[in-house]
Amino acid sequence: MSKKINKIIQAIFPALLMVSGALLTGAILIIISGNDPIAAYAALLEGAFSNSYRISETFVKAIPLMLMALGVSIAFKNQIWNIGAGGQFTIGTILSVIVCLYFKLPPIPTIILSFIFAFIGGALWGGLAGWLKARFNANEVITTLMLDYIATYLLAYLVYGPMMDPNGFGYPQSAVIEKVLRLPKLIVGGRLHTGIFVAIAILFLMLLFWRSTLGFKIELAGQGNDVSRYAGIDNKKIIVITMLLSGGLSGIAGWNEIHGIHLRLMTDLAGSYGSIAIVIALLGNLNPLGIAISAYFFSVLIVGGNTMQNLTGIPYSLVDIIQGLIVVFVITRTAFRTESIQTFFRKRRYQHNG
Amino acid sequence: MDNIFTATFFVSIFASTIRLATPILLTALGEIYTQRSGILNLGLEGTMTMSAMAGFVCAYFSKNLFIGFLGGIIVGMICSAFMAFLSITVRANQVIAGTALTILGIGFSSFIYRIIFGIQKLPPQVESLTKFDIPLLSSIPYIGTIFFQHNLIVYLAYILAVFSWIVLEKTTFGLNVKAVGEHPRAADSKGINVSKVRYTAVIIGGAFAGLSGAFMSIAYMNSFSDTMIAGRGFIAVAVVVFARWNPLRAMVGSLLFGIASALQIRFQAIGVPIPNQFLLMLPYLVTIIALITVSKKAEFPSAYTKPYSRMER
Amino acid sequence: MRNITKIFGHLKANDAVDFKLRENSIHGLLGENGAGKTTLMNVLYGLYRQEEGEIYIHGQKTDIVSPLKAISSGIGMVHQHFMLARPLTVVENIMLGRKSSRGIFLDTRKVAAEIRELSDRYHLMVDPYARIWQLSVGQQQRVEILTTIYQGANILILDEPTAVLTPQEAETLFSILRQMRDDGKSMILITHKLEEILSVVDDVTILRDGKMISSFKVTPATTKEELSRLMVGRDVLFDFNPAAVKPGKERLGMKDLRVKNDKGLPAVNNFSLSVSEGEIVGLAGVDGNGQKELAEALTGLRPAEGGKIFINGIEAENKPPAFFIHQGVAHIPEDRQNMGLAMGFCVSKNLIIKRFCQQPYAKNGLMNYKNIKNHAQKMIQDFQIKTNSTEDITRDLSGGNQQKVILARELADEPSVLIANQPTRGLDVGATEYVRSRLLEARSKGAAILLISADIEEIIQLSDRIAVIYNGELMGILPKGSQPETIGLLMMGKRQGENTGVKENQ
């Protein structure tokens, strides 16, 4: 048992170290800006936890971030750099709303169908990039990014055009989905909704997924083309499957946001979720539990960051800086582990001698 | 009457196409050096935001636009030097390093801006770069308005496109950049310092992105906001792939994005019910299609996103 | 070069080697794989620093600290893997790293004219404005030669230049080399092909196990047998493999098999061979003669362009890798780090990467890590894998233990066919002996084993029959107990029955 605890500590310790490093650097920035870092972080915590509304907000924000980061992590495990989770999310929201507004079905089937459509939509958006990679060797970094923009403009087209709410005074947004289609709220005066149970269920499914043969295949494919082919895996097929699943989870995040929070389409629903999801996936070391914890941590930063800005005048962008620093620490540590830095120092020494 | 209206309409569309293409072109030109050397800098969005902020701050306090541009360029070079450090020295994954740089750049620029200016009712402004009509040429009907009534940076961008083509095709430095991107080992065996060339190429990319960022805050607008780059850094990356790493084709790619934005702004202004989002989408679609054909011919620099180490085979 | 010693770790790659190159001559450097030829030349070219010894060029002691220094001392090297950037033109590749007469601008036109002139002088037929990817391999090699001449080299090192060429291209190359010799240049030809020594070379130096064995002028009286004996020459081997069981029915068959390499050139030509139950067939050959491509075709990793493959009597050419795994074809690949192992996986997972979908490791689509761990514990014990736990990352294991992991995985389920490609390369003595004894054990359990090796000693020790491959073709099949010299001759491209006095085995 103590061995297990040891292992958990070993897994979490580096993440804690990196987070502390980022927070510390943030504190130095606060001091340079002429403010008190302790007061700032206290304000941040107050903003995240001082009342039930705020606490519920930390969970509300964590849900889509976690789902998207879980999706991103599937691709990353296979060494596919899906940076377009935002676009896959957007397609998910669009299909959800289409099902809700135009399918005229009873409430329960509508919610389920909306869920399925959102998953398929996100999956196809991601899978398209995967197929382009498998078929044409098209760099997925560029294709997922382009598809992200295309999704954003598609959403803009819909809310400015055919899906614009006729009674919406010309605002770029769709009609609101019916009340019965909304995910029930869990607390009074907060926005926390039953979508969290779906998210938790998916978290457990993901834990199970990495113990499945398909999960094993994806992980093995990420170890290199040669070894996975050698082990009898069809690499091209796995690339497409990886991206289908990766995009699908972001699609579900879209479904969750529509039925739980936004209730309608608006422009730029994805915001910067796509890039935050990458940070969360990396900080969580691509492990589902790690991702869940990181997602909550980032959600606290986001929710508390606004309060910090209002109370202390320290800009919210400090939160962005902390995020960026965490990524820098994570990749530097990975590089250390793969010994490239050690090689670098060896080389330097050799040059000094010679 | 109708006829004259149409002519002015097109003239103004084309003129703004050229203006709107400028920041994308500048950034894309810099990224061509970077990618040709084998590095993918996805952090341009952050670099441009930082430079837009730096350019604005420098111009605001010095009351001198030239110092503003210089500040933007220097900050752009610093940001990309950080990217170069992560991708060349630390040998980190370039996609992730670029993502980090984008997040950090946007975060830092808005943080610093807020620390300096606080919250004000009216955003602080600088006098932006004025138009410079090229004598004689600017008075040619239509043509003059389209091509020769812009600010200096616009002209500079198009000159730099030709200049960059000459650098890459006709100079030893250009050859070295291409060689370290294609076959770093061969370059190394001929006595070329691979890291040094790559650092230089990435930092040149940063200088271009820096100029472009400063253009946004002090020549295109006259104020700064942390969302003002609005994806132009990423679009520039798309243009580079679209242009297959050729500065002259990058000009075509940037103009394509420029005309899409120009039409969108114009349509919105006069309320034409044409779904301009499809127009905006077009360049991204074209990039994907270009990428498919390019990838098949494997025209990507062979050492694209691959760190180089003499030790490994 | 006098008294050159180069040490890697505890291995002496060059042990007090003397090497003397006359002006205006072509000098052959002959030796088996790992004899230290390339190491010696890399020292001369400044890529490695020697631990001991000096280098004299034109009588002058020269300290060659880097390739740049070598180039300025008039030494040029044509590598086996070309140092050419494919999208660039010939002239651009040649200008690379060179000072331009026009300052920062390239003097393309001037250099192109000079290249054209040099090209004409040596009949290289190179168009300076052609892009590298448009050129054939032979032309690319001539570009490399041109580069070194252009840099002012009068000593050229060519590392196995004919390995990538067709016979016709090789002939062209030789006539170019002769012409360059007559023009006052000296060349060092690293090779292990005997005809090349006899046909173009003036002097020859033979290396074996890092030591200089002999160096002499090649005369019409020099014979292949003499060279081969000097190169391979070793004591008579004891028989490691006494219990030759009677082989059973055919498990692995190839008929007129043709396979291409990565460049799309023929690598294996009309290859026919059969391996039966309970038999080890050794496939001897110098590296790069099609062994890798053959092994990959026999495991579904590379398409067969023609001919047939039979696995347990079933036609199997161009079936996916999964089919071969299913049929019990085990494969110890040459590239164990990229192909044989998932280096980032732990040992227990690596032990099942080929059968992770099967019981007891998985059930209903879910992995059973308890069974996987138990299996790993058993394997670690059975195969004496040195590791702290089943969860150690494979990358952190030593080379010998990594190979044991592969061995454990491939042999655990008593394969019907085993393709072992260079299974002991780079391993220390203990691990080597262990791997060999395991192969013999697998044979006695009935596996049909194709042992691909460049190590003649290994082939002789283990094989029941010895096949030899050269240039992708089967040179002949020798019986157990054949002499190393006989095998060596076939490996150098001499066909069986061609004046060797060896009779066909089958």
With a cut of 60, say whether residue A338 has pLDDT above it.
Answer: no
Note the pLDDT tens digit of each residue in C481-506: 888 778 878 887 777 665 544 443 43
Q: Do B172 and C84 touch (CB under 8 A)?
A: no
Which residues share a beta bridge with C473?
Answer: C470
**Contacts with A121 (C-beta within 8 Å, 6 or more apart), sequence order:** A88, A91, A92, A94, A95, A251, A254
pLDDT value for C408: 94
Q: Given pLDDT bands bounded at 50, 70 and 90, which one contains residue C59? A: confident
pLDDT number for residue B57: 96
Q: How do residues B261-305 score in pLDDT, each as one tens digit?
A: 888 777 777 766 666 788 778 778 877 887 787 665 545 676 777
A230 contacts C356? CB cut-off 8 A: no
Report which listed range, A159-173, B20-34, C391-405, is most confident: B20-34
Q: How confident is the model at residue B4 (pLDDT cuts 50, 70, 90)?
A: very low
Residue to substitute from C298, C355, C363, C367, interface A, most A β-carbons within 10 A: C367
CA B119 to mean position of chain CA atoms: 29
Distance from the Cα of A223 to chain B's closest Cα (Å) equals: 15
- In angstroms, the separation between the Cα of residue C469 and the nearest Cα of chain B is 27
What is the percentage of chain B residues whose pLDDT exceeds 90? 52
Interface membership of A223 toward C (CB under 8 Å): yes
Question: Which pLDDT value is given to residue C255?
Answer: 94
CB contact under 8 A, B100 and A313: no
Q: Which residue of C has its CA nearest to A209?
A: C366
The whole-number pLDDT of residue A117 equals: 97
Contacts of C86 in chain B (CB under 8 A): 182-183, 302
Among A214, A231, A354, whose Cβ lies nearest the Cβ of C353?
A231
Which of A327, A329, A336 should we substitute to test contact with B (largest number of B Cβ atoms within 10 Å)? A327
What is residue A1's predicted lDDT score, i.e. its pLDDT? Answer: 54
- Average the pLDDT over C405-425 and give the result: 92
Looking at residue B246, its pLDDT comes to 93
Nearest by CB to B186, from C66, C71, C85: name it: C85
Residues on chain C touching A228 (C-beta within 8 angstroms): 342
Q: What is the pTM of this model?
A: 0.84
pLDDT tens digits along C345-380: 999 999 999 989 888 899 889 999 999 999 999 999
Mean pLDDT within B174-189: 91
Partner A contacted by C362 (CB < 8 A): yes
Q: pLDDT for B146-161, tens place per residue?
A: 888 888 999 999 999 9
> How much is the ipTM here?
0.86
- Rounded Cα distance between C290 and B204, Å, is 46
If one counts every other C-beta atom within 10 angstroms of the C-beta of residue A332, the result is: 18
pLDDT at C11: 64
Distance from CA of A171 to the nearest CA of C (A): 49
Q: Is C86 touching B (CB cutoff 8 A)?
A: yes
Say if C66 is an interface residue toward chain B (CB within 8 Å): yes
Q: Are A80 and A140 in contact (CB under 8 A)?
A: yes
Domains of chain A, by residue range, sit at 58-202+214-280
Residues of C in contact with A230 (CB under 8 A): 299, 301, 321, 331, 333, 339-340
> What pLDDT score was predicted for residue B273?
61
A179 to chain B, closest Cα gap in Å? 31
For every residue of chain B, DSSP letters joined together read -HHHHHHHHHHHHHHHHHHHHHHHHHHHHHHHHHHHTT---TTHHHHHHHHHHHHHHHHHHH--HHHHHHHHHHHHHHHHHHHHIIIIIS---HHHHHHHHHHHHHHHHHHHHHHHH---SSPP--PPPPPEEPTTGGGSTTHHHHHSEE-HHHHHHHHHHHHHHHHHHHBHHHHHHHHHHH-HHHHHHTT--HHHHHHHHHHHHHHHHHHHHHHIIIIISSS--TTTTTTHHHHHHHHHHHTTT-HHHHHHHHHHHHHHHHHHHHHHHHT----HHHHHHHHHHHHHHHHHHHHHHT-S-TTTT----SS--
Mean per-residue pLDDT of chain A:
89
Which chain C residue has the Cα nearest residue B185? C83
**By the CB < 8 Å criterion, does A340 face chain B?**
yes
* Chain C residues with beta carbon closer than 8 angstroms to that of A224: 338, 342-343
Average pLDDT over residues C105-114: 91
With a pLDDT cut of 90, the percent of chain C lying above it is 33
| Positive or negative: CA dihedral B98, A242, C262, A229 | positive
Q: Which of C320, C335, C357 sits opposite A226 (nearest CB)?
A: C335
Lowest mean pLDDT among B35-39, C123-127, C219-223: C219-223
Q: Considering only CB atoms, which chain B residues are within 8 Å of A341? A: 90-91
pLDDT number for residue C241: 55
The structure tokens 């127009």 sit at B279
- Sort out which chain A residues have CB atoms less than 8 A from B268's CB and list them: none
Residues of B in Cβ contact (< 8 Å) with C337: none
Residues C191-216 pLDDT 10s? 877 777 788 889 989 888 788 888 88
Which residues partner with C271 through β-bridges? C257
A145, A326, A341, best to mutate vs chain B, most B CBs in 10 Å: A145
Residue C242: pLDDT above 60?
no
Say yes or no to pLDDT of C235 above 50: no
- Overall average pLDDT of the B208-222 stretch: 94
Q: A346 pLDDT band (50/70/90 cuts)?
A: very low
Give the residue, C88 or A67, on which the prediction is more confident.
A67
Of A212, A223, A228, the CB nearest to C365: A212
**Looking at the DSSP assignment, which residues form a beta bridge with residue C363?**
C366
Per-residue pLDDT of A279-313, as tens digits, reads: 999 999 899 999 999 999 999 999 999 899 888 88
Domains along chain C?
Answer: 4-232 (3.40.50.300), 241-328+416-422+443-494 (3.40.50.300), 335-412 (no CATH)
Check residue C233 and give its pLDDT. Answer: 65
- Whether B171 sits inside 8 A of C106 (CB atoms) is yes
pLDDT at B281: 83
| pLDDT of amino acid C358 | 86
Task: Inspect the interface and report whether the beta carbons of B238 and A278 lie closer than 8 Å.
Answer: no
Instruction: Report CB contact under 8 Å: C106, B175.
Output: yes
If you count residue pairs, one on B and one on C, with CB atoms under 8 Å apart, how many are there? 63
Mean pLDDT across A209-218: 95
Of B92, B110, B241, the CB nearest to A142: B241
Looking at residue A28, its pLDDT comes to 94
pLDDT at B198: 96
By CA distance, what is B282's nearest residue in A?
A150
Asked if pLDDT for residue A351 goes beyond 70, the answer is: no
Residue the block writes with tokens 């992105």: B209
Whether A224 sits inside 8 A of C345 (CB atoms) is: no
- What CATH fold (topology level) applies to the domain B12-130+137-295? ABC transporter involved in vitamin B12 uptake, BtuC (1.10.3470)
How does pLDDT run across A127-183, given as a tens digit for each residue? 999 999 999 888 898 899 889 999 999 999 999 889 999 888 888 899 999 989 999
User: Which chains sit next to C, with 3 or more Cβ pairs under 8 A?
Assistant: A, B
**pLDDT score recorded for residue B238:** 83
Q: Is C358 on the interface with A (CB under 8 A)?
A: no
What lies within 8 Å, CB to CB, of B71 at 6+ separation is: B51, B54, B55, B57, B58, B59, B214
User: For strand C60-62 and strand C52-57, is the pairing parallel, antiparallel, or unpaired?
Assistant: antiparallel
| C contact test, residue of B35, B175, B294 with most C CBs within 10 A | B175
